[in-house]
Structure 1
């Protein structure tokens, strides 16, 4: 599109046109401001779902007001012939396509997710440090619920750019790891036996899966890890709490001392705790 074609797109701009456009903009700003003030005020006087419905109207009204203002203002400055309309739609389509490239990428990721199944409803996944149970896999996002009962929406676009950790991968078995840190001067065989008994006597234990107690010597002491499986992945936090509480009680009855981990090494342990 050359300069002459661009010039033909626009009408002759007069003072009256500018005043009308300015008036429309001011009215739109006023309506948006009123919706952001009045609707929250009204929502505070309602209860339950009605309150949430009124709050959800705020962004909708803002979008509708902006669209109405644009529909009013654009014909004031642009001659809407067939040729001009096609040119505007083409430019707008290009701009919208560029703006929505991430949205389209997430939709394509949803198609790939439906084929490769990196996660399914019921899986426990971690994406960008956010861990939770998959409740719904949509076309654009996967919905997970964290242990603190927070709903998180993760775009499928993460399939291209990040790591996705799946703890149970569509199955009913999910390994839990519970750590204990002891001073090095003790009978390691006896500690392993006690910690294994702690796991085997847990009411949440899935007996069909193996129970492992592994240890690793560190400069500050010995790091023990119980690796076991709860009966249901949703019981993982009760299971880990049960192992931790009863394991500490049993270790306190033994001639062992809990280690004090230097702060500079605590972060390294945190990254290895799930292995």
Structure 2
């Protein structure tokens, strides 16, 4: 009889209700929620008001801390509710795998991708990334999705499982600055060396420039003229759009002061059908 009782006890998945401390479970959940809430408020505040070199490290610690605290809470709660044995673990794992596989495939795929993202770091809080054509700053990395804030102040939410099928373009990859590009189009008749020198001076005299990185001016001949690009780095990547605007305005003035005009890039005509083409001819 004792053997049968021990076997029944081992196979029982849930502890007896009178043995489950629901108040303790509630306190663990509440404490974990408060700790995560505090981390999500305190670390970004310290990142915004602390040393610039520590900003990305503090922001990157938020999803890691949340993941660790959630895992600790789950491990703490499971023995309170469930009768943890090897047999029960196999039963729960098998049932959960089947249910998850059919009902929550995409959701679990995003959760797993989120864990991978925390350690492989294709994006971190504070990074400027492009995901499915949306460019913005990573504001939050949740368990299922990443939230971007675009330059137009839109909040974009993308599930983590996008990393399985799409390329993630990361502008700074954890660094405190990123490359900005200002583009110019100049008509064919001009002195390329003079324009290149003038555009380099435009970048070097910008108030937003980070002098620790090189300034490059590259050019490419096109049928309609020459395409110039200033590649430079702002001191703070949050100033990237002001930096590009500043270089663009002063770059146009420099080209005009040199006596040259911008190129007129023609618009390709709309494709026409056979009947329209004949009529036009």
Normalization by structure 2: what TM-score? Answer: 0.60
Unaligned runs of 5+ in 2: 1-93, 270-281
Query: Secondary structure of the equivalent of 1:126?
Result: strand
TM-superposed CA distance for 1:96, in Å, is 6.6
**Where does structure 1 lack aligned partners over 5 or more consecutive residues?**
1-89, 266-275
2:115 aligned to 107, 111, 119, which one?
111
Looking at structure 2, the residues matched to 253 and 217 of structure 1 have their Cα atoms a distance apart, in angstroms, of 22
Shift of 1:264: 3.9
Which residue in 2 is equivalent to 1:227? Answer: 231
Aligned pairs (5 A) from 1:12-51 = none
In structure 1, how many angstroms separate the alpha carbons of the residues matched to 2:180 and 2:234?
8
Q: 1:179 and 1:153 mapped to 2: Cα distance?
A: 30
Counterparts of 2:195 and 2:100 in 1: how far apart (Å)? 63
Q: Determine if contact 2:100/2:108 at 8 Å carries over to the other structure.
A: no
| Count of aligned residue pairs for this structure pair | 176
Q: Residue 260 of structure 2 aligns with which residue?
A: 256
Give the alignment partner of residue 207 of structure 1, picking from 204, 211, 217.
211
1:1-275 to 2 correspondences below 5 Å: 97-264=101-268
CA distance in 1, matches of 2:181, 2:188: 21
- Tell me, in whole angstroms, the C-alpha distance in 2 between the residues paired with 1:126 and 1:229: 18
- Deviation, structure 1 residue 249: 1.2
Larger radius of gyration: 1
Determine the C-alpha separation between the residues in 2 that align with 1:170 and 1:183.
39
CA distance, structure 2, for counterparts of residue 95 and residue 261 of structure 1: 58
Report the CA distance between 1:99 and its aligned residue. Answer: 3.5
Quote the Cα distance in structure 2 between the aligned partners of 1:121 and 1:111: 15
Cα deviation for residue 190 of structure 1 reads 0.5
Q: Secondary structure at the match of 2:228?
A: strand
Supply the distance in 1 between the matched residues of 2:228 and 2:130 (Cα, whole angstroms).
24
